[in-house]
Structure formats: structure tokens, C-alpha cells
Amino acid sequence: MSAIPEIALEKCTGCGDCVEKCPTKAVELVRDKAIMVRPEDCNYCTDCEAFCPSGAIKCPFEIILTKLEPQS
């Protein structure tokens, strides 16, 4: 995995929810905007995206589950 969460700064209100929820402290508020200050610590849990009330964070690595058809 190489991508980290993308934060749209124009949408970020600086509420700090993502900072509070991030289990690895990869994201912090810098001048009232969420910034990935330690991207190497991100464990791709997607909590920041789930909790951001303004939809400013997008996790490009979200896992998409697909249904496998049984082989006949």
C-alpha cells in the first residue's frame, strides 16, 4: 500500500475529530487544518474518513468487497 488519506483542506473545518479518532496519531491539526504529519504511521484503518463530519478526508485505499461466484 502506498496511498495515504487525502485531505481536502478547503473542506476541513478544523474540528479535530480525525485527530482524536486516529489510532496512530498520523494526522494532526496544523493552523486549524488536518494534516498527515506522520503518513508512515497510518495503518489505513479509514477511521478519519468515517468520522470527518465535513467529508474532507478520502481514503483511496478503501477495500471493496466483491462477491465471488462459486466455481462449477
Residues that bind ligand SF4 (CB under 6 A): 5, 7, 12-18, 21-24, 26-27, 34, 42-48, 52, 54, 56-57, 59
**Cα-Cα-Cα-Cα dihedral of 25, 11, 31, 2, to 10°?**
40
- Kindly tell me which of 62 and 69 has the beta carbon lying closer to ligand SF4: 62
Of the pair 45, 67, the CB lying nearest ligand SF4 is at 45
CB 30, CB 9: distance < 8 Å:
no
Q: How far is the CB of 22 from ligand SF4 (least distance, A)?
A: 3
* Rounded Cα distance, 61 and 47, in Å: 12
Nearer to ligand SF4, 25 or 71 (CB): 25
3-class DSSP state of 33 = strand
